[in-house]
Amino acid sequence: MIRRTAAVVLLGLMAAPGAAGAVGVTTRTFTKTSVTTGEPRPLATVIWYPAVARTGTPEALGLRDATVRKGRFPFVVFSHGTCGRPTESTYLTIALAKAGLVVAAPAHLGNTADDPECFTPATFADSAANRVPDVRFVIDSMLVLADDPASPFSAHLQSDRIAVAGLSFGGYTTLSALQQEPRTRAGLVMVPGGTAFLGPTDITQPTMVIGSERDAIVGFPESEHAFERLAGPRFLVELLAANHLSVVDSCYNEDLGVDFCVADDIPQETAHRLVLRYALPFVRRYLAERPVARRKLTRQVDGVVLTAEPRRLD
């Protein structure tokens, strides 16, 4: 089933022929060695990027294999949640590409919706050990593509402007990667869990945490705990009347045929709008280093509780 959110966004991107904002999408498999088994670990990675309009093949995720637009772009590695997929938050990944970033979203092998044992303790533990190495390997692999004259991404990535983002288990992955990977410049964390298992070092990169007031899976206090571990410029956005799955494309699980939406929660379209309201100026300011009006990051709007400390340095 084609997600309505992605389809609507794609139509918007293609509305103005030749205009900046067209988004391309491609898939690359980067194969690393598992840190737990020593076996090959293929990471099927969905990549969104600024594209030349009217190239590639239109689909719900973007213009498949379109020509990369002229320029050098910051890039983000996006980490999905437990039993999720790289395409679980396309409203965000497509919007980031439209804003002039490249987004690489790997499928964490063993912990995706396509892995029948993704919820078992053994596979969860295996994924926990491999997730940050997965992120680091995708960074390495993207930089290899940028240096390869035969690659469509040749000379299109800014190697000194790398961020990591993710939700739920991917939110924990993001926080842990910020601690372990010195090449990361910023982090975008949504509904994270497992903060008690982070390393002892506080996170100095600019980081935004977006949590949900009614999160019944990890709880909003986990977002607060993540925020407490941030020693650099930091932001905490609480989405009021939102739940854990408000930050994915759809709370209807097609694989299980189950609707996890809660009747009196805010509509997902509203949650997505609020996420983008803060996430986009954050990455523009702290990753792309573009001018951003201070109020974009420090003004509280209806539907959120905002804590903003853009100049925090401990």
- pTM for the model stands at 0.92
Contact status, residue 113 vs residue 83, Cβ threshold 8 Å: yes
Q: What's the whole-number average pLDDT of the chain?
A: 91
66 token code pair? 């379109």
**Residue 155: CB atoms within 10 Å:** 13
Residue matched to tokens 């009021």: 240
117 token code pair? 């044992």
244 token code pair? 């854990």
For the chain, the structural domain boundaries read 4-309
pLDDT in tens, 258-274: 677 788 999 999 999 99
Question: Do the strands 252-253 and 258-259 form a parallel or antiparallel pair, or are they unpaired?
Answer: antiparallel
Instruction: Tell me the CATH number for domain 4-309.
Output: 3.40.50.1820
Contact status, residue 46 vs residue 61, Cβ threshold 8 Å: yes
**DSSP 8-state secondary structure symbol assigned to residue 34:** -
Amino acid identity at 256:
L
d(CA 181, CA 159): 13
Tens of pLDDT, residue by residue, the chain (314 residues): 334 444 444 434 333 333 458 999 999 999 999 999 999 999 999 999 999 999 999 999 999 999 999 999 999 999 999 999 999 999 999 999 999 999 999 999 999 999 988 889 998 899 999 999 999 999 999 999 999 999 999 999 999 999 999 999 999 999 999 999 999 999 999 999 999 999 999 999 999 999 999 999 999 999 999 999 999 999 999 999 999 999 999 987 776 666 777 889 999 999 999 999 999 999 999 999 999 998 999 999 999 999 999 986 54
